[in-house]
Amino acid sequence: MEFLGGPLTPSSPRIPCYRTLDGTGKHIPDAVVPHDLQQQDAVALYTAMAKLQVMDTICYDAQRQGRFSFFMTCAGEEATVVGSAAGLDPRDMVFSQYREHGVLLWRGFSFDDFANQLYGNSLEPGQGRQMPIHYGSKELNYQTVSSPLATQLPHAAGAAYAMKLDGADTVAAAYFGEGASSEGDFHAALNFAATLGAPCLFICRNNGYAISTPANEQYAGDGIACRGTAYGMPAIRVDGGDARAVYCATRAAREIALRDGCPVLIEAMSYRSGHHSTSDDSSRYRTREEMVAWRARDPVVRFRHWLVANAWWDEEREKQLRHATRQQVIEALEKASKVAKPPVSALFSDVYADMPWHLQEQLQETLQVARRHPHLCPPDMPVQ
């Protein structure tokens, strides 16, 4: 009789972490690289990460200036998000949490698209009904963000099962943070996907903090990857700061999911360099020394060092890219700020093809109140 796990077997082997580049961006000699990046793809991946950094910085500052109400950056997790996006097929359906806008950027979401959503103007598909950073794109196979944690995971498992039944050669990709793995939906989704053999990639951004809760208070076991094997699916732990490793792991996981008809769990070990959001002050729960040390491990710089070592990038291209991106983002925000808000009536549209009588009555009552009390509506919102 033998009990396994916990304090009874503290020396149990831990799941190793796959990486191909060391902390300075140098190739690790004995690293297995089944899907190495050629120059064109490597430069495209880096370009997307650098653009994401610039956009995040400017949009964060714009929110601080009061231009819109909320923002979240991807600081420190660019390699995890963009590297995995590059490893997916553009036809794969993405179910994100809220810090994966780099996937959209990789797939072609423009700075204008981002800016329109942040301002909630009339050019934004959601018509301002969602708070900022709740992006979505039918054309780019990216399901609209939902604030509650882990609700996207059962949806992804169901979508993947539907793909299996249809005989499609695509997968569903579900992103989440390690904090979301404490939600019941996480366990339900993994169990459904495993028992149904759904081709779903569960991509965990283990960035060290669930808002203010550190990982060592979030779970007692060996991270998140071990939960995949417990539910009967292949799992891998990867260095989330190594864009090439994340890319390789995602491509390999996608191949396994389609070939063997099963879900795969990827745990990307990263670090959230910025605050949780513009509503958070992370200096209240982590030290300045910790943040400075991790910011020195910038995954974008790390990947750039590898590009430079291959003679695929130089300082002049770096300056041109960041300068051009900065101008494009600022111009997009300026344009979006001048676009009118959706009319009040947009609160009631896009639910029924033909609006039922009770909503028609509510719409007329709402318009009457708005006309009697115009101060209750934003000045740029048409009362119609």
Residue 12 has what pLDDT? 74
Residue 197, phi then psi, degrees to nearest 5: 65, 40
Backbone angles phi, psi at 172, to 5 degrees: -100, 140
Residues lower than pLDDT 50 in the chain: none
Please, what's the b/e burial string for 197-233 (b: 16 or more CB within 10 A of its CB; e: otherwise)?
A: bbbbbbbbbbbbbbeeeebeebbeeebbbbbbeebeb
Where are the alpha helices (H) located in the chain, listed in sequence order?
39-64, 78-87, 101-107, 111-119, 152-166, 184-196, 225-230, 243-260, 288-295, 299-309, 315-337, 357-372
The confidence score (pLDDT) of residue 3 equals 83
pLDDT of residue 381: 86
Residue 48: what pLDDT? Answer: 98
- Scanning the structure block, which residue is given the tokens 């283990």? 206
Phi, psi of 251, deg, nearest 5: -60, -45
Q: What is the dihedral of CA 79, 215, 153, 12, to 10 degrees?
A: 100
CA dist., res. 83 & res. 85, Å (int)? 5
Full-model pTM? 0.95
DSSP state of 359: H
Residue the block writes with tokens 């503290």: 10
Tell me how far CA of residue 188 lies from CA of 154, 194, 196, 267, in angstroms: 7, 10, 12, 18
The pLDDT value recorded for residue 2 is 82
Token pair 């989704």: residue: 189
Give the pLDDT confidence score for residue 206 in this predicted structure: 97
SS3 content of the chain, % helix, strand, coil (to 5): 50, 10, 40
* Strand 209-210 relative to strand 213-214, pairing: antiparallel
Q: Rg (Cα) of the chain, in Å, rounded?
A: 22
How confident is the model over 246-258, as pLDDT tens digits?
999 999 999 999 9
> Token pair for residue 379?
């000045």
3-state class of 310 per DSSP? coil
Dist. CA 75–CA 215, nearest whole Å = 18
